[in-house]
Structure 1
Amino acid sequence: MNHTLIKEITHDNRKIYPQVYMIKPGPVTIQQIPNLQYVSQEMNTAFHMDWTGHPEPLGEQSMLAKVVNQLKRISKESLGYKFKLMPHEIIWHNSNVNDTYSVTQLMQVPDCITVEMFEEARTCVQRNLRNNMLPETKLIGVKSVLCAQKLHIGHYRDTQITLQEIYDFVEEQGYKVKGNHREIYLTPAMADCHPPETWKTIVRVEIGR
């Protein structure tokens, strides 16, 4: 492997997987999502969607970005591989009786990230947290799945409108929804720079016959 060449490139998986992360405004589409690797964190959390920024788990409460930032450093030092942070993703599971939600947070990471690199990253984050415990995070691989998806433009609290469009489309096309829906938050958490009417969120559901 020519590490000299690799060091000159910062890999961006948005561009490597445009059908996953760079979809354009328009109707619902069906897309085969390739095999992808993620760092994941299970959470039970409250979402304050009236706040003008990202939902709470996408802010300081999330440890995902800290772990992935360490992976960026480790992959650069050990492999000469530089990559950009990917957007936060949330799989929405159940709403609970105490106004919290069970969710899975994810950030996609390159295939070159190994379990050993992930454990090293977790150790570094834990060391920086001192007496606070790092929540459980995992390195997971997800196999290719068929999905229906649409780009939602506007406030996050209105994504249910887009989700219903997807559900209607899936039924019309003779498919069935498999599992919980996913939202991918493309807009950075800087509400003053990005007014809510411009926020971009990919809404996606896995489907099958």
Structure 2
Amino acid sequence: MKADLKRDLGTYAARAGRFDIVTVAPAQFLMIDGHGDPNTASAYAESLATLYPVAYGLKFLSKNDLGRDYTVMPLEALWWADDFGAFTTGRDKSRWDWTVLNLIPPWLTPEHFDSVRERVARKGTAPLLDKLRLESFDEGRCVQTLHLGPYDAEGPVLDRLHHGFVPENGLSLRGKHHEIYLSDARRTAPDKLRTILRQPVA
């Protein structure tokens, strides 16, 4: 059977219109860091062009060599800036730093990652392989919600999260803003996009 990690991990489900406190288990991810507006920065497009071939290469290695098939997980990203207002009010994307992520199942090892990365390198189509890494990420306690609609309409939701729900529940912000893209933006109308917005808290 094909494993569906998104279904098996309860933190990949969220509800619109409410904030939920969840504990996110440690997991390993493909990661690439970058800076700037994701709509215009060439590094963002190059990061995705690097991440996806390796993610699918690992899937097929797992299926063909290990007999364990799984559904490739959705794209995720961590976002941060010197000022939270860059997300909630001005949305000045040129000031954003980011890490794009893709969750990899625990039975795949750094050796599997190195093997697939070498195969992808031989094809010469992944421009940032030298920046791609496989790394464990332990996010812990978080608040999350499901945002329905365009990415640029997230500001009011994040403002309520940061300045309403978090202080009202005796929590404080920590870590980096996290988004999980349940929809493919290339094939989905902006008003139909489904994105989990997640914020680590203490």
Q: TM-score range by the shorter chain?
A: 0.7 to 0.9
Give distance in 2, aligned partners of 1:201 and 1:56. 23
Q: Is the 8 A contact 2:181 2:195 kept in 1?
A: yes
Q: Shift of the alpha carbon at 1:207?
A: 0.6
Structure 2: gaps spanning 5 or more residues:
87-91
Choose from 79, 82, 85 the match for 1:92: 79
8 A contact 2:150–2:191 mirrored in 1: yes
The number of residues matched between the two structures is: 192
- Counterpart position of 1:188: 184
Structure 2 residue 193 is matched with structure 1 residue 199: yes
Secondary structure at 2:108's aligned position in 1?
coil
- The residue number in structure 2 matching 1:155 is 150
Counterpart CA distance in 1 for 2:26 and 2:184 is 25
SS at match of 1:25: coil
Identity among equivalent pairs (%): 27
Query: Which of structure 1's runs of 4+ aligned residues deviate more than 3 A?
Result: 55-61, 95-98, 130-133
TM-score of the two chains, using structure 1 as the length reference: 0.82
With normalisation by structure 2, the TM-score equals 0.85
Task: Calculate the aligned-residue CA RMSD, in Å.
Answer: 2.6
1:148-188 CA distance string (max 9 Å, x none): 01100010111222211211201110011112201111111
Question: Structure 2 residue aligned with 1:74, among 58, 61, 70?
Answer: 61
What amino acid does structure 2 have at the position aligned with 1:164?
D
Paired with 1:102 and 1:144, the residues of 2 have a C-alpha distance of: 18
1:24 maps to a residue whose letter is R
CA deviation map 1:21-74 (0-9, x unaligned): 12222311100111211111111242239xxxxx98775651111111110111
More helix by share: 2
Matching residue of 1:37: 28
Q: Hey, which of these two has a bigger chunk of strand by percent?
A: 1
The gaps in structure 1 that reach 5 residues or longer are 1-8, 50-54
1:106 equivalent in structure 2 = 101
Note the 1:2-17 alignment, pairs <5 A: 9-17=1-9
